[in-house]
Chains A and B, each alone.
Chain A
Amino acid sequence: MKKRWLSILMAAALVAAMPVCAMADEAAEGEPQAVTTVGPEDGTHFEMWSFVDAHNEFYGKMVEKWNEQNPDKPINITFSTYPYSDMHNKLMMSLQAGSGAPDMCDVEIGQFPNYTGDDCPLYALNDALAPYEADVVQSRLDVYSKADGTRIGVPTHVGASVMYWNAEIFEKYGLDYKAVKTWDDYTELGRQLKEASNGEVFLTSVDTGGVDWMWIAMAEYGEDWTGGLDGEVNVQLDSVKKMMTMQQEWLAEGIAMISTDGHIDLEAGFKNVSEGLVASFPKAMWYMSRFTNYMPEMEGKYDITTIPVFEEGQKNSVGIGGTGTVITDQCANPELAAEWLTWAKLSEEGESYIWSVLGFDVCNSALWFDDAFAFDESNQYNTFFRVKPYEVLQELANNDAIGTIYTTSVSPTLNDYMCTTTLNEVFEDGMDVDEALAEAQEYLEMELM
């Protein structure tokens, strides 16, 4: 009799264990990497997700400050950090399902178009943003809005693109990178560098897995391949053709290399930069934190200037990348959440943390010209480079030189096609630029119309 019970028990245990075994593998991937709770227990409770631990640390600090300043409406937030795609998938699924979403969540700009649809259950932030609207760079608010102007995301930074130069290399070979104003000058500098270094140092690296260069070209000519919020997609633009053709020539001449693994914001890219294999590259301001985090040995070696132009007088920067923080309709107290969130990300207190710790170019442009804010010597970014980064930013602002490329519902498909197909065809296989772009256009029209 005992034996029979034992065998029933074992059989039951086996059956019960089966799904657990099957799920164990999945669970390890779906779990947050870090969970922290900040604020008093009697405060209004919120859940917040991010895919960057540093963002959650920043929000945590802002919760503490908020509670000091607002003892009448304390808040308490539980922060979870998930891997990038995990978090976006979880958010999408929980919004689709109507339950399980956090109160607030970071959404990366490339993913944002998935949330700008008409029925998307996100809280409108227009009222909460009103006190800050006048000071904040408008295009940054626009990129996190629906087509009808409803603001649904709070921006983190401008992401103005600038030129990074390994000044030490150019000094070593006696070349003057500061005189470069146009892309022709830049190409000429590349020829000189190739000759001086016996081809050991490349002027720059060309991306097959990223579209930053194309964005810069489009901003210079005031074009936009997405067509803006209500336009039609068109990749056969003069600016894009010019940039691709020029880069093809660089590769043919041996002035530039193709970015290892696709683009320069990866481990392999950091290696190429820190070993001096590439001497310059355009990238958004936020790339500064890559230097302090991954290439600290480059301190004092790198300089930052504005990006060359095709024709003088053009804009020479564009806002690249970013994170919009949203409030979902599953939040029980969205007014308070919105009040805190906009304060945390756009007030002077929040912005000074964003600049000093995260190293971003802040969206509140009123602060760019505040010397105490911008040129604070205790800020590591002000001493790491050969220039104070906000000097470059001020120059861009004075010339109204920062253009906008929209991230719209066509962007995921467009970027995907460029990064998997077109850029590889043009740079790896040397395919004719017009032909490659015509092929891309044909695909996109079929796909999106």
Chain B
Amino acid sequence: MSKFKKLFYSQKVAPYVFVLPFMLSLIIFWAYPLISGIVMSFQDISFGKRTFVGLSHYTKLMGDKFFAIAVGNSVEYMLLTLLLMIPIPLVLAVLMESRLTKAKGVWKVIMYIPALTSVVISGMLFRMMFSEAAGSQMNQLMTWLGKTPIAWLKTKWTAWIALLLLCMWRWTGVNMLYFLSGLKSIDTSIYESADIDGANAWQKLWYLTLPLIKPTTIYVVTISVYAGLSMFLESFMLWNGNSSPKNIGLTIVGYLYKRGIEKNDLGYACAVGMVLMVIALIINVIQLVATGTFKKEDR
């Protein structure tokens, strides 16, 4: 074997070669921006000039009421999406696995298609559907129901119906697929033995399915927490810009965008981003510890 071939088939080198693309993208697109962001959060930045301002961005953040609104909205949105986007896709996935369901492929495709549409387009469609004009779909529906038209996107709870529906419409199919893949990995013989033991459908769901797809559930919860906290584009498209009446649609990332891009204060925006990261980290770590992900497997 030539030297080159030896190197090529070397078992020591191979792993590094395989992880290299990932490491490179991690360093360039993740580690560098992260460190740069931390540094920038202590600076004032203006057209190439950087001056260190210490903790002043963070102290300002503490008293910033719009930041408080943004954090409140993002956390609320995250919790509500968790409440909706875990049980509903899970039930749908179980139904998909059921022998009683016909035309499974069709249903899966229908559920998944919204995830392929651009948020920009779906946001615009929802904006038109929920427009306060009397001719919008939702207001026509209200008229048919004998109610007066509503300015949907101007009060919080009606606007959030639109926001959550948009989220569900887009992501239910994706979460359902995650759960489906989890269900597929469960050994069917377990169900057979449960049948022999006389377990009913409910008991099988509660005592077998749910515990066995726990890893999938943990994964879906983790990404949903992050997705909920970092929501921005949905709100941006629904209100046709970053300004919603009384900031009912302002999220942490929306606020970061407003500060960094719209008001040209990248240093302050980085401080906002750091707080978002810390919140997401805390929530995810608590949740991962609580679900026992870090425990050594005792098998």
Contacts and interface: CB of A to CB of B under 8 A. Distances in A.
Contacts of B97: none
19 contacts: A89-B261, A92-B261, A92-B264, A96-B45, A96-B48, A119-B47, A120-B47, A208-B245, A209-B245, A260-B132, A260-B133, A261-B133, A416-B243, A419-B243, A420-B245, A420-B250, A428-B245, A443-B65, A446-B63
Contacts of A441: none
B131 interface: yes
Contacts of B132: 260-261, 268
List 5 A-B pairs, minimum CB-CB distance, nearest first. Answer: A114-B264, A119-B47, A424-B245, A15-B21, A420-B243
A428 B65 contact: no
Contacts of B120: 29
Interface residues of B, number: 31
Contacts of A271: 133
B204 interface: no
Contacts of A416: 243, 258
B247 A421 contact: yes
Contacts of A208: 245
B25 interface: yes
Interface residues of A, number: 36
Contacts of B49: 119
Given A208-B245, A260-B133, A121 B47 contact: yes
Contacts of A428: 151, 154, 245
B263 interface: yes
A96 B47 contact: yes
Nearest to B20: A15
Given A412-B262, A446-B63, A95 B47 contact: yes
Nearest to A422: B246
B133 A117 contact: no
Contact of A268 (B46, B133, B250, B262): B133
B2 interface: no
B266 interface: yes
A413 interface: yes
Contacts of A92: 261, 264
Contact of A119 (B46, B63, B247): B46
B270 to A, nearest CB: 13
A28 B117 CA distance: 13
B118 interface: yes
A218 to B, nearest CB: 21
Given A260-B132, A261-B131, A98 B48 contact: yes
A261 B130 CA distance: 11
A96 B266 contact: yes
Nearest to B154: A428
Interface string A101-124: 000000000000010010111000
A53 interface: no
A19 interface: yes
Interface string A83-104: 0010001001001101000000
A76 B118 CA distance: 37
B289 to A, nearest CB: 31
A129 to B, nearest CB: 23
Contacts of B48: 96, 98, 119, 121
A68 interface: no
A176 interface: no
A7 to B, nearest CB: 12
A262 B127 CA distance: 14
B115 to A, nearest CB: 12
Interface string A418-433: 0111001100100000
Contacts of B246: 420-421, 424-425
Given A412-B263, A413-B263, A424 B131 contact: no
